[in-house]
Amino acid sequence: MPNQPAVLHSFCIYGAGIVAASVYTAIKTLYNRTPLFFLISDAGGRGGMLDASPAQIDGIAVKELSAWRQELQALQKQQPLYDPDQNTIVPAYYLIAVPEAHHQAVVKSLYSLDFLDPPMEDSRIILFTSELENELMEAYYSSLAHCLTAAELLDAAKRPITQAAHQEKDVLLKVFQAKSHMDKPLREQPSLPAVQGSRIPRYITPIQAGAALTAASIAPLKDNTGESISVKNRNYCELTATYHAWKNCHAAYKGICHYRRIFAIDDAQMRTLLTMKHKWDVILPYPSVYYPNIDKEHTRYVGESDWRAMLQALRETAPAYLEAYEKGIADGEQFFHNFNMLIARAEVFDEYCDFLFKVLERTEELTTPKGAERADRFAGYLGENLTTLFFLKNRENLRIIYAGKLWLT
């Protein structure tokens, strides 16, 4: 983090979602520093979430920008807004911890605080890009005794990659990037690392998800070939591509990512990891952190009737996983696996998919009348909860390594 001592002396975090909570936890753990408060945009434009932003995170207030502006104006009449030696009320730095697609809008809103003294300027705004977020989360998860990161394995390798290993990669690994004809175009990002922008790593194969629902063709590989649930894409999202990989791909290692989110692992790093495959079973993105635990995470996107149906499906099809979930909540589990992304040994990938799709199929039966259609993404959102549950239950038996993700905009 640039100018770390000064920044962490007096700062707030802009955001109250999964990026902000994870950044907060890492800073608190690594540096024993906490923000003065969390700042968010005014209510509205919540991107489909079903709940409101929290009033506090880990006991720290969450303030809306308009309310903070009024508070600042009142404070300014009483005292200088910022004293670098004495101030404990007004932050000197604003850490922007929201998805990168929203960075510029947030910066613009901060510049609306045009009465600040000293004035708002770029040096007071720290943007948590994919690179900076991954750097911080790598340090955080490396500090936890029970977590192993891909970066640690790569640092330990320190050996050249042979051409044979490069060739072996093509036989061993298939990682699919789910894309849809409704995806928004991505911007060219030439300033970003080669793994970003239009320069997707060669080990990733695009697959058109929901191909059965459109005549448009955006990728040579489509999820409506072979054994398929492509017609369910409106509800299952990228999971129709996951299902296709499960049923139709026979590589030794299989994986799934998104058109906007990919692993921060380039081709050379992946080749290295494949030479060390005896040391890992699955690669997951760094988990998101929730307060006080993951129990209410589902309320962000999932209706309560769908949630109850999923719990009933677990009771019927996988009761041991329901027990693991209840124990995790009781133990205060905070780590949640968003995005339905993973790269795994084929046996692990297939076991995960067998669990996932059995539960989702039964949930569908319990929530959707026969012959009826739904247009919401309930199965995709439930999939994130089930992904979290699968690895919560099995993490003691699997060699899991964690890696950063890159947000493509």
Question: What confidence score (pLDDT) does residue 200 get?
Answer: 87
Peptide bond into 160 cis (omega under 30): no
The whole-angstrom distance between residue 243's C-alpha and the CA centroid of its chain comes to 20
Domain ranges of the chain: 4-128, 147-407
Radius of gyration of the chain (CA): 22
The whole-angstrom distance between residue 227's C-alpha and the CA centroid of its chain comes to 28
**4-128 belongs to which homologous superfamily?**
NAD(P)-binding Rossmann-like Domain (3.40.50.720)
Task: Look at 25-39, 186-200, 285-299, 387-401 and tell me which has the smallest mean pLDDT.
Answer: 186-200
pLDDT tens-place string over residues 150-170: 999 998 876 544 444 444 444
Q: What integer is the mean pLDDT of 255-261?
A: 93
Say how far apart CA 140 and CA 289 lie, in whole Å. Answer: 12
Residue 371 has pLDDT above 50, yes or no: yes
**What is the phi-psi region of residue 237: left when phi exceeds 0, alpha when psi lies from -120 to 50, beta otherwise?**
left
Residue 295 has pLDDT above 80, yes or no: yes
Which three-class secondary structure state does DSSP give residue 16? coil
Nearest by Cα to 384 from 409, 359, 347, 350: 359
pLDDT cut 90: percent of the chain above it: 67
Specify which residues 253 forms β-bridges with: 173, 345
Say how far apart CA 409 and CA 407 lie, in whole Å. Answer: 6
- HEC string for 125-157: EEECCHHHHHHHHHHHHHHCCCCEEHHHHHHHH
pLDDT tens-place string over residues 70-108: 888 777 766 555 555 555 578 889 999 999 889 999 998
Backbone angles phi, psi at 133, to 5 degrees: -65, -45
Nearest by Cα to 403 from 152, 178, 170, 146: 152
Please report which confidence band the pLDDT of residue 116 belongs to, taking 50, 70 and 90 as the band edges: low
Please report which confidence band the pLDDT of residue 333 belongs to, taking 50, 70 and 90 as the band edges: very high
Question: What confidence score (pLDDT) does residue 119 get?
Answer: 63
Question: What confidence score (pLDDT) does residue 307 get?
Answer: 96
Say how far apart CA 144 and CA 124 lie, in whole Å. Answer: 30
Question: What confidence score (pLDDT) does residue 383 get?
Answer: 97
Please report which confidence band the pLDDT of residue 45 belongs to, taking 50, 70 and 90 as the band edges: very low
Q: What integer is the mean pLDDT of 98-122?
A: 79
Please report which confidence band the pLDDT of residue 117 belongs to, taking 50, 70 and 90 as the band edges: low
Architecture, CATH, for domain 147-407: Alpha-Beta Complex (3.90)
147-407 shares the fold of 4-128: no
